[in-house]
Structures are given as C-alpha cells and as structure tokens.
Structure 1
Amino acid sequence: MKLTMIGGGGFRTPLVFAALLRDTQPGRIDHVALVDTDESRLRTMSRILADQAAGVPDAPRVTVHTDTREGLTGADFVFSAIRVGGMDGRAADERIGQSHGVIGQETVGYGGISYALRTLPVVMRLAELVRDVAPDAWVINFTNPAGIVTEAMSRVLGDRVIGICDSPIGLARRALGALGIRSMETTEIEYAGLNHLGWVTALRVDGVDRLPDLLAAPDRLGSFEEGKLFGPEWIQTIGALPNEYLHYYAFQRDVLQADQYAPQTRGRYLLVQQDRFWSRAADAEHPYAVWQDFRHERETTYMATNRDSAGMGDRDEDDLVSGGYEDVALALMRGIAYDQRARLILNVRSGGALEGVDADAVVEVPCIVDASGAHPVPGARVPAHGRGLVTAVKYVETQTIEAAISGSRSAALRALALHPLVDSVRVAGALLDDARSTFPDLSYLR
C-alpha cells in the first residue's frame, strides 16, 4: 500500500514512520511519498527516515515530491499535515492575540480562527485534488485546527476524510496509569466533544468503569498532567476528565497572565528551535538522533505557560510520552484496508451520535472502524456543564468555515466575536483587521 504524506517535511513525520517500521503484518505500507513545498526539508527528512530505518528489514520505500499531484498518484491513504504560514504565522498570531489581551494559541480562540482562515482555502484545494487524482484514497487529517479542517474537507470528500488527535488517548493513558493500569487492551474509553474541547466520561476496564475510583482519590488525580493542570478539586467538581486544552477556558485569566510574563511565546520558541534543528540535522552523520534530542526538548516544554500558571513545574517523564496518534493512524488504516475492526477516538461527522450537534458537524467521539470507514458510536454524551460551550464553539467553527468558503468578512467577525475566549466585539474587529494586515492570505475576506 502507498501512503502519501502532505507536509511530509514536517517535524512529526518520524513518529508516523516509526509506527510503520513496527508494523510487520502482511499488507503493510510499503511506499511512503513525502510531499512538501520545501525541497531542502524534504531532503533532510529523507535522510532522517533512512537513518531511522537502518537495520530494519523491508522498511517502506520513501520518495520525495514537491509536486502534489505526482505524490498523490496511486495513493491508498493520504495524511494531511500542513502548516500554512509556517511557524512564523503561529508566532504572529500569538503576538496579535497578546496585543489585544486575548489568548493567541494556535487551535483555540483567536489563534485557532486565524490559523483556520488561512488554512481552509489550501486544504479545500487539496481535497479537490485528492478527489480527482486519488478518488479511492482515504484522507487522514492531522492539520490543525483538526476539527474545523476535517469538517471543511468533508464537504468535498464526505466520510472519506477522518481527523486524528492524540490528546484524548494521551489523557486516557495517563489516567489509567494513575490507577496502576498500563495495558489498554481490555479498556473502553468514553469520550465526547469537539477537537481540543472534550471530556473522558468513563474508563471501562473489563467492563467496569474505573473513573469513579480515580475521582475518589485526590492523590491519584494529582499525580498526572491533567490532574496537576486543573487541580483534583476542580476535576472532582465537574465529575469528568477534561482535555488539556480546556485549561484555556477554565483558567483564561491565569493563562493570559502567564503569557504576559513568559520570556517568549510558544510559537517564537518553536521558530528558534526549528531553525536550530534543521540546521543541525542537514549535515549530521546520524540525523535521526538529532531529531530525537529535539523532540524530547519540545515535549519537555509543551504547554509551558499553562503549567506555569498552575504552578506545576517541569513535566514528569511519564507525561512526555505522546498520546500515540501514529499508532491510532496505523490502526485506522489497517481497520479500513483489511476490515480489522477497532474502536478509536476520531474526528468524524456526527451523524446524530452526539446530541445537540448537526449530523454533518465533525465531532470527536469513539468510533468503530471497519472496511467501510469510521462510524461514531451512538450515545456519546458531553457533561452537562460543557454542553453550552460545545454549542458555542461549534457555531464558531461553522462560521469560520463559511468565511473561508464564501470570503465573508462578516462570518469571520461573527466567529471571532462569539468565541468564548474573545470578550468584546470591538476587540474581535481589531483582531480581524490585524490578521488581515499581517497575513496576505486573508485578503479574500471582504
């Protein structure tokens, strides 16, 4: 099978390749096509993957392409992992947000909307190209904001586009670890919400929900990342485990203050780190080792200002383990290609599975995967306290998509002004004006 990775020169590509190298089952991916606009990064990434595959028999063949149509030809699966505007764009969004006293993080609030507005026109063209060049391919979307991007692409590709995020499975793994449970083979996770806005509502192990045991033990709740971030008392108060990105909503003022005191924004830090990485990896004898070092550095500093606002200090080594989105992607591909039934938390069209959300709206819920795709498990429930937030943010997402498709400045303004993390229509207008003057890509908004 052939896997085409759009944005294959991106930093996280070796994570996906590692999962492919671990896969020894018949019918595995044997050709990976990396597609990117940056030819020098493609060359370096090709060297990293070759170094990573050293000593692995029958490793997938890797080809590199700057022509998207060429890279897509013959693809069975397509990964979309692009960053329109690059890390410079992320840093600019954070700066604009801070200048108006709002959070500029790349997937929530102003930052997420701005990022989506410049990304959606690009991914819509990509969806049309996939439809024309590789109509039988399945698209697995990693591009952020994952829920909005997946929903927009579904207007072209229908259910053949599925979004993935590692936050839910990472949260569940850490929570189970706090209970002393290391294997997830007999675990069934109940999760409901939108991308970067959801809750674990049950952790069934061998049919028994262990979440009440965790909620009854403040010491265990406070032993892992999300428990430290939100505090055991608040998690006990809401009766569910919140996705880490809900910290921006629950502790908005605290995060804003921490952002103001931080020596630099996350985007600016990654911009500097990224330049150092590509420079070192380009000439290194063992570039994969360089990538591993820089990845550990990234994970160590992840959500640093949020942790500072909660007084958490450094991350524990157990918390540095990724949620495993690459393994979820592999299970998803195998489930579809070989009808290997699996239960996974994915971003898909609701189809009525999540109460109060339109059937065509993309939500993040448990799904059953088989040869015909990913099917939401009926009955997913958002905790009562979060239903209004989900409704509000979903409206913002639909208006963001409307703005990108129609070029409507009014829709973009509605999205910004009505987002729960933007508290003023005047500020929303100023944010939009600053974004349009900063990013030429947004000139289509009129």
Structure 2
Amino acid sequence: MRLTILGGGGFRVPLVYHALLGDHGPGRITDVMLYDTDRTRLTAIGAVLRQQAAAAEPGLAPPMVTETTDLDEALRGADFIFSAIRVGGLDGRTVDERVALGRGVLGQETVGAGGIAYGLRTLPVATKIAQRIAAVAPDAWTINFTNPAGMVTEAMIPFLGDRVIGICDSPSGLGRRAALALGVDPSTAFYDYAGLNHLGWLRGLKSGGVDRLPELLQSSEALSSFEEGRLFGADWLRSIGSIPNEYLHYYYFARETLAAVQAVRQTRGAFLLDQQSAFYAETGQHPEQALELWQKTRAERESTYMVESREVADAGERDERDMAAGGYEQVALSLMRAIGHNERASLILNVRNRGVLRHLDDDAVVEIPCTVDANGALPVTVSQLTDHQAGLVSSVKAVERSTIEAAASGSRDAAVRAFAWHPLVDSVTLARELLDGYVELLPDLGYLRG
C-alpha cells in the first residue's frame, strides 16, 4: 500500500516513518510519497528517513521513499493520504503569537486568537487540497493532522465525506497516562472522552466493566504521577469530576498562562523557528548526519512542550512516561491498519457527531471514541457533556464555524465574529483589532482585506 504525506518536509514526519518501520504485518505500507512546496525541507527529511531505514533491524524491506513538489503526482495512486501541512510555516506561527500577545490575549497556535488566525490562512489551502484529492484519488482515505485539526477536518468533509478523519495524540496520551496511573493496561481500557480537538475531557475510564476514574480522582499520589494530574492539580480535578485535555489549561488558568507566556524571552513559535531553521540548515551542510541531528533537535523540542503551563502549575519537567512512544503516528498507523485490513480498533478521533453529543448537530466534527474497520470510523455512545462542558464546546464550535465561513466566503464580518465569540477574547473592538493586525502581517489573509 502507498501512503502520501502532505507536508512531507515537516519536522515530525520521521515519527510516522518510524512507526511504519515497526509494522511487519501483512499488507503494510510499502511506498511513502513525501509532498511539500519546499524542496530543501523535502531533501532534508528524505535523508532522515533513509537513514532511519538503514538503521532499522534486518527483516522486511523498509518502505520506499519518494519526494515530489507536484501535488497531483503525490496524490495519484495513494491508498492513504496523511495531511500535516503548515501554511505560512513557523514564520506565520510567530505572527499568530505576536499579534495576540501584543493586544493582551493568548496567541497559542490552536487555541484562541492564534488558532483562529492559523485557521483563516490554512482553510483555503486545505479545502483546495480536498478538492484535488476528490478529483485525483477519490478512493483514498485522508487522515488529517493539519491544525486546527477539528476545524480543518470539518472544512474538508463537504469534499471528501467520511473518507477524511482527523487525528490527535492528546486524548489517547491522556487516557494512556491515566490508565497507567491506576495500574491498568491501557490497551484494555475504554475511555469515556468527548469534546472538540484540544477541548475535551476524560469523564470515565472503564476496566473490566468498572469505571476506575473516581478511584483515580481520589488518589493524590496517583494524580501527581502524570502530566495532567500535575498540570491541573488534584483539588481542581476532583471539583470538576473529570480530567481535561492538557490544552484546557489555557482556559482554566488563562490569566496565569498569559502572564507566563508574556514573561518569557521568546514565544514557542519563535523557539521552534530558530531551532528548526538551524536543523534544516545544518542538515543541508551535513546530510550524512541528518538522523543524528533530527534526534537531537527532537529531544529538545519534546522536553520544552507547554513549558509555560507547567511552570504555572509548578508541574516540573516532563518525565519519560509523559513523552513515551505512542503519539499521533501510532494513532495514524492503527487507523490505517484498521481500515486497510478490517482490523477492528477503538480510537479517539475527529469525526462527524452523528447524534452522539446532543448539544451539537449531526455534522459537527467532534473528538470522540470510535470503532474503526474497513468501513471507516463510527462514533460510539459516551456520557453526555455537563452544562459547563457543553457550553464551552458549543461556544468554540461556533468560533470554528465562523472561521470556516470566513475562509470560504472571504467575509470580514464572519472573521470578526470568530474572534469576538472566542471565550479567550473578550471584546468586539479587540476582535476587529486582532483581525486587522493579522491581515497586515500575514499575506495569506489578503482575501480578508476591507
């Protein structure tokens, strides 16, 4: 089978290839096509992948790697398409952060003003790609990891239907860590998790037919053993009766996190821009060291993830269990195997609601447990959201849909609504200032000029 990776020059692509190297089952991926608009980045990541293949244990031939800057060539003949593009690159991300922080609101890349700006420049490109997939590879399954993942997936569905599925590693990582804190085998547990991408809660963890989450919430020692427990604190988790996705720290501790971000020397986007620019430049000069350079850069990247939130919570450094393998690349591999070989799997995915959460309509893309087989992903029944959870989810879903409307129509009014309605932006006047600030600095948002 053939896998096409859109954004194939992206820094995290070797994680996907590593997962493929570990898949020795029948019908595995044998060909990997990397597509990117940046030939230099493509060449660097291609070198990393070939060195990964050379270092792999002897056995089956590793998936063959090909690079191209031609989208139709990349799509033609694909069985699966993994979309992980970053429109505007990390330069765009730094603008997302800087404009928001300059006006006193959070600039995180998927949450709040920064996430809306990212969506406004990404959605026009993502929908054009969806149209090309429908025309060139209509039978392919598209796995979307392009952020904001839920919003982008919902925008692609009108062109691809249920053959596009969004993924994220945050929910499965949370479930895994919670299970391990209880001494439960993560592969045997059912996670009652629901919400939107980067806005969900673990409301139950069933093992042997028994919900073990209340037991976990009562144990301060168990909660302090993993990332989310330290991030939110035992008292708050007991108060809300659930364990939130790590990104909800930006909502529950908004003022503290904003102050912490404003106090650092450089934003996360600026850090990654410097770090990855150095990686690609050094790899270009020393291609024979590509894998070694990538591994070194990745270790530093992972250890500094959400560092400001951890400082606010005094959560300390990330430990090995919090950074353990089994991230989005394993979710993608499990999804491909389930569909390609009818190997039934249970995964938390971004799919159409289909009536599961009564506060949202059937077509709203939600992040929820699904049963996956050759027919695709079907959401399963979970407990309903609380009033607080439903209110926050409904508000952010309205933001997502206004962003999609603005990107599709070029409507400034829709874009202003998206900013103004977000819970972390508290003013229509500020919403207009944010949009003007982004349009001024981001060429990709020229279609929203008044």
Q: Give the letter aligned to residue 422 of structure 1.
A: V
Cα-to-partner distance string for 1:33-52 (whole Å, 9 max, x where unaligned): 00001111111111100110
- 2:18 aligns with 18
Within 5 Å, give how 1:391-402 maps onto structure 2. Answer: 391-402=394-405
Q: Give the letter aligned to residue 64 of structure 2.
A: R
- 2:44 aligns with 44
Deviation at 1:313, TM superposition (A): 2.7
User: Is the Cα–Cα contact under 8 Å of residues 168 and 323 in structure 1 kept in the other structure?
Assistant: no
Unaligned regions of 5+ residues in structure 1, if any? none
- 1:8 aligns with 8
- 1:229 aligns with 231
**Partner Cα distance (1:174, 1:334) in 2:** 24
**Partner Cα distance (2:68, 2:223) in 1:** 47
Deviation at 1:335, TM superposition (A): 1.1
User: Is the Cα–Cα contact under 8 Å of residues 348 and 362 in structure 1 kept in the other structure?
Assistant: yes
- 1:431 aligns with 434
Identical pairs, percent: 58
Aligned length in residues:
445
Helix, strand or coil: the match of 2:321?
Answer: helix
**Partner Cα distance (1:380, 1:145) in 2:** 25
Match of 2:392 among 389, 393, 401: 389
- 1:316 aligns with 319
Unaligned regions of 5+ residues in structure 2, if any? none
RMSD: 1.2
320-329 or 184-193, larger mean C-alpha shift: 320-329
- 1:360 aligns with 363
User: Is the Cα–Cα contact under 8 Å of residues 99 and 107 in structure 2 kept in the other structure?
Assistant: yes
Match of 2:76 among 70, 73, 77: 73
- 1:260 aligns with 262
Q: Give the letter aligned to residue 53 of structure 1.
A: A
Cα-to-partner distance string for 1:5-27 (whole Å, 9 max, x where unaligned): 00011011111111111111111
1:91 equivalent to 2:90? Answer: no
User: Is the Cα–Cα contact under 8 Å of residues 47 and 287 in structure 2 kept in the other structure?
Assistant: no
Q: Give the letter aligned to residue 31 of structure 1.
A: D
Cα-to-partner distance string for 1:369-410 (whole Å, 9 max, x where unaligned): 111110111344223321100010001111110010011100
Q: Give the letter aligned to residue 315 of structure 2.
A: M
Helix, strand or coil: the match of 2:33?
Answer: strand
Deviation at 1:322, TM superposition (A): 5.0
**Partner Cα distance (1:383, 1:225) in 2:** 24
Q: Give the letter aligned to residue 145 of structure 1.
A: P
- 1:276 aligns with 278
- 1:31 aligns with 31
Q: Give the letter aligned to residue 248 of structure 2.
A: L
Deviation at 1:440, TM superposition (A): 1.5
Normalising by structure 2, report the TM-score: 0.97
1:290 equivalent to 2:325? Answer: no
1:332 equivalent to 2:339? Answer: no
**Partner Cα distance (2:22, 2:204) in 1:** 30
Cα-to-partner distance string for 1:273-325 (whole Å, 9 max, x where unaligned): 01111122331433212211111111100001111122223222222225521
Within 5 Å, give how 1:166-205 maps onto structure 2. Answer: 166-181=169-184, 183-205=185-207
- 1:62 aligns with 65
Helix, strand or coil: the match of 1:249?
Answer: helix
Helix, strand or coil: the match of 2:124?
Answer: helix
Cα-to-partner distance string for 1:109-143 (whole Å, 9 max, x where unaligned): 10000000000000000000000000100100000
Q: Give the letter aligned to residue 149 of structure 2.
A: A
**Partner Cα distance (1:349, 1:191) in 2:** 15
Deviation at 1:436, TM superposition (A): 0.6
Q: Give the letter aligned to residue 376 of structure 1.
A: P
328-337 or 61-70, larger mean C-alpha shift: 328-337
**Partner Cα distance (2:180, 2:44) in 1:** 37
- 1:341 aligns with 344
**Partner Cα distance (1:369, 1:197) in 2:** 22
Structure 1 consecutive aligned stretches of length 4 or more whose deviation exceeds 3 Å: none
